[in-house]
Amino acid sequence: MITAFLLRGLDRRALVFLAVLAAVAVVVPLLNLATPAGSGLHIPSYAVTLLGKYLCYALLALSVDLIWGFCGILSLGHGAFFALGGYAMGMYLMRQIGTRGVYGNPVLPDFMVFLNWKTLPWYWHGFDQFWFAAVMVLLVPGLLAFVFGWFAFRSRVTGVYLSIITQAMTFALLLAFFRNDMGFGGNNGLTDFKDILGFPIQDEGTRAGLFVATAVALGLGYLIASCVVRSKLGRVLVAVRDAESRTRFLGYRVEMYKLFVFTLSACMAGVAGALYVPQIGIINPSEFAPANSIEVVIWVAVGGRGTLIGAIIGAILVNFGKTWFTGVLPELWLFALGGLFVAVTLLLPKGIVGTATALWRGRRWRGPAATGEGTLAESGGDAEPPAAAPAAGPAAPERAS
Please report how close the Cβ of residue 68 comes to other proteins at its closest, in angstroms: 8
Footprint of other proteins (CB under 8 A): 74, 148, 151-152, 154-157, 159-161, 163-165, 167-169, 171-172, 175-176, 178-179, 290-291, 294, 297-298, 301, 331-332, 334-335, 337-342, 344-346, 349, 371-374, 386-387, 390, 393-401
Please report how close the Cβ of residue 262 comes to other proteins at its closest, in angstroms: 15
- Cα(276)–Cα(55) distance, rounded to whole angstroms? 9
Please report how close the Cβ of residue 396 comes to other proteins at its closest, in angstroms: 4
Q: What is the full DSSP assignment across 308-377? A: HHHHHHHHHHHHHHHHHHHHH-GGGHHHHHHHHHHHHHHH-TTHHHHHHHHHHTTS---SSTTTTTS-HH
Of 26 and 387, the one with the shorter C-beta distance to other proteins is: 387
Please report how close the Cβ of residue 64 comes to other proteins at its closest, in angstroms: 12
Of 167 and 214, the one with the shorter C-beta distance to other proteins is: 167
Please name the helix (run of DSSP H) or strand (run of DSSP E) that holds residue 224, with its range, or none. helix 204-230
Q: What is the full DSSP assignment across 79-124? A: HHHHHHHHHHHHHHHHHHHGGGSSS--SSS-HHHHHTT--S--GGG
Nearest to 70 by CA among 346, 204, 265: 265
Please report how close the Cβ of residue 323 comes to other proteins at its closest, in angstroms: 17
Residue pair 83/288 in contact by the 8 Å Cβ criterion: yes
Of 260 and 341, the one with the shorter C-beta distance to other proteins is: 341
Please report how close the Cβ of residue 74 comes to other proteins at its closest, in angstroms: 5
CB atoms within 10 A of CB 332: 12
Please report how close the Cβ of residue 169 comes to other proteins at its closest, in angstroms: 6
Residue 355 CB partners (closer than 8 Å, separation 6+): 304, 348, 365
Of 209 and 386, the one with the shorter C-beta distance to other proteins is: 386
- Cα(397)–Cα(103) distance, rounded to whole angstroms? 67
Of 331 and 362, the one with the shorter C-beta distance to other proteins is: 331
Of 113 and 172, the one with the shorter C-beta distance to other proteins is: 172
Please report how close the Cβ of residue 57 comes to other proteins at its closest, in angstroms: 18
DSSP assignment, residue 285? G
Bridging pattern class, strands 195-196 and 199-200:
antiparallel
- Cα(17)–Cα(309) distance, rounded to whole angstroms? 8
- Cα(143)–Cα(81) distance, rounded to whole angstroms? 10
Of 18 and 115, the one with the shorter C-beta distance to other proteins is: 115
Of 161 and 324, the one with the shorter C-beta distance to other proteins is: 161
- Cα(67)–Cα(225) distance, rounded to whole angstroms? 10
Of 278 and 368, the one with the shorter C-beta distance to other proteins is: 368
Rounded to 10 deg, the angle between the 308-328 and 290-303 helix axes is 120
Of 34 and 389, the one with the shorter C-beta distance to other proteins is: 389
- Cα(180)–Cα(189) distance, rounded to whole angstroms? 9
Of 137 and 302, the one with the shorter C-beta distance to other proteins is: 302
Amino acid letter, residue 175: L
Reading phi first (left if > 0) and then psi (alpha if -120 to 50, else beta), residue 371 is in: alpha
